Amino acid sequence: MPRFTNADYLQQQQYQNSSNLGARIRLHQLFTVAPKDIHRWAFEMLLACSGSQSNILEAGCGRGDLWAKNTDRIPANWQVTLTDFSAGMLEDARKNIGDIATRFTMQQADVQQLAFDDASFDTVIANYMLYHVPNIPQGIAELRRVLKPSGTLHAFTNGQNHMHELTELVREFFPTDDAFAVDSAANYFGLENGADLLKTAFSDVVMLRYESHLQVTETQPLMDYVTSMIRLVDVDAKRLDALHDKIAAHIAEKGFLHITKDSGLFVARG
């Protein structure tokens, strides 16, 4: 089974806690050029679709950044449930969200098998996580099942072009290396095939692009991003150093490294 959807690897290594995910979020937070922060933008989409009394589920919530970044405007009558299949991730979400985490219900759960009654939620969120699910139609069917008939699903994901400059750089130094089996989230649930997958359970699916790119001016956060996706013991350190030096030289010469972002939000109903 590919690493992208290998539940043992994901639960026991990649997402045992939020340290790998945190390295990737840090790169985006430091160097994204966009009209608005992605979590602020995502929350506005949520506010637009949800009433002031909503019951909301986020599956695969990670560090809970969507909530941590919007603590100032979570409506008082929203009931929010956060789930993730990693207990360590939920623990880090609790810390990241801070004082208001006591308002949230948190539960360890695989999105393919949710312990909620049918039609429990007004809105369900599955951001940057459906591409990890071994049986994606089953995960989507579970989200549809626990959603009220009138409810809305929000799901961010990436497209095939996402960070392609970085993929090409990594391939140059690790052309055949298994540890860097560069795979794309978009091959599983991406901007190109996501609508068709969602239409197995929803009748109305639209995709809204989040326009942004990275302008990276420091090498180390980018190297931390790269190494967050592998087990370092698997990797030839000399080639990692060579990748570092190439990125550093590019930044020294041009002032920054431009990296394309290809990201968007599916909103599904019906």
Ligand X SMILES: C[S@@+](CC[C@H](N)C(=O)[O-])C[C@H]1O[C@@H](n2cnc3c(N)ncnc32)[C@H](O)[C@@H]1O
Q: Which residues bind ligand X (CB under 6 A)?
A: 10, 15, 21, 59-62, 65, 84-86, 89, 110-112, 127-129, 132-133
Residues 6+ apart with CB under 8 A from 266: 153, 154, 155, 156, 157, 194, 195, 198, 205, 206, 207
Q: Which residue in this structure is represented by tokens 């649930």? A: 189
Q: How far is the CB of 21 from ligand X (least distance, A)?
A: 5
Q: How far is the CB of 263 from ligand X (least distance, A)?
A: 11
Choice between 50 and 263, CB closer to ligand X: 263
Choice between 43 and 256, CB closer to ligand X: 43
Q: Which residue in this structure is represented by tokens 């990693």? A: 86
CB 167 within 8 A of CB 222: no
Choice between 2 and 270, CB closer to ligand X: 2
Q: How far is the CB of 36 from ligand X (least distance, A)?
A: 16
Q: How far is the CB of 196 from ligand X (least distance, A)?
A: 20
Choice between 131 and 173, CB closer to ligand X: 131
Task: Concatenate the DSSP letters of all residues of 48-63 into one string.
Answer: HHS-TT-EEEEES-TT
Q: How far is the CB of 204 from ligand X (least distance, A)?
A: 23
Choice between 38 and 173, CB closer to ligand X: 38
Task: Concatenate the DSSP letters of all residues of 158-204 into one string.
Answer: E-TTTTHHHHHHHHHH-SS-GGG----THHHH-TTTHHHHHTTT-SE
The sign of the CA dihedral 6, 12, 13, 18 is positive
**3-state class (DSSP) for residue 118:** coil
